[in-house]
Amino acid sequence: KYKIEVALRPGTVQATTMGIGGVNVPLEEKSRDAQVASYTGIYDTEGVPHTKSGERQPIQVNMQFNDIGVFETVWQVKFYNYHKRDHCQWGNSFGSIEYECKPNETRSLMWINKETFH
């Protein structure tokens, strides 16, 4: 299971649903002020088959917002066997992805202007 933390700026933006790989991830609003709205959710990967050695797989990520449309992107991921954790000993650590977005003209989709990995 992975804890998903979402911070939306400005704080007037409201998320309604989130999906990762076709799985609904319920979001719980934790806080809100004029600058930021914070949500958390749990993405459960139990039962997801692990990715074959040397491969990655695309996973669809989407989030619906009130009044400004849908955010959609694709992450390239690797699901590891839970009982084989030696992969945790090497590689670069990953903390978060920051997206700078704006709604399209019809307010149905979000355009991604910038993607930053932290």
Residue 89 has pLDDT above 70, yes or no: no
5: its two tokens:
């933390």
Asked whether residue 104 is domain-assigned, the answer is: no
**What's the pTM value of the predicted model, to 2 decimals?**
0.86
Residue 37 has pLDDT above 80, yes or no: yes
Residue 92 has pLDDT above 80, yes or no: no
Which CATH number belongs to the domain containing residue 29 in this structure?
2.60.40
Domain that holds residue 68: 2-46+54-82
The structural domain count of the chain equals: 1
Contact status, residue 69 vs residue 104, Cβ threshold 8 Å:
yes
Asked whether residue 115 is domain-assigned, the answer is: no
Q: Give the C-alpha separation, 56 to 1, whole Å.
A: 19
Asked whether residue 76 is domain-assigned, the answer is: yes
Asked whether residue 62 is domain-assigned, the answer is: yes
Q: Give the C-alpha separation, 83 to 103, whole Å.
A: 42
Tell me if residue 88 falls in helix, strand or coil. helix
Which strand ranges, in their side-by-side order, compose the sheet holding 15-20? 23-24, 15-20, 57-65, 69-77
Range 24-48 average pLDDT:
95
The pLDDT-based confidence of 102 (bands split at 50, 70, 90) is very high
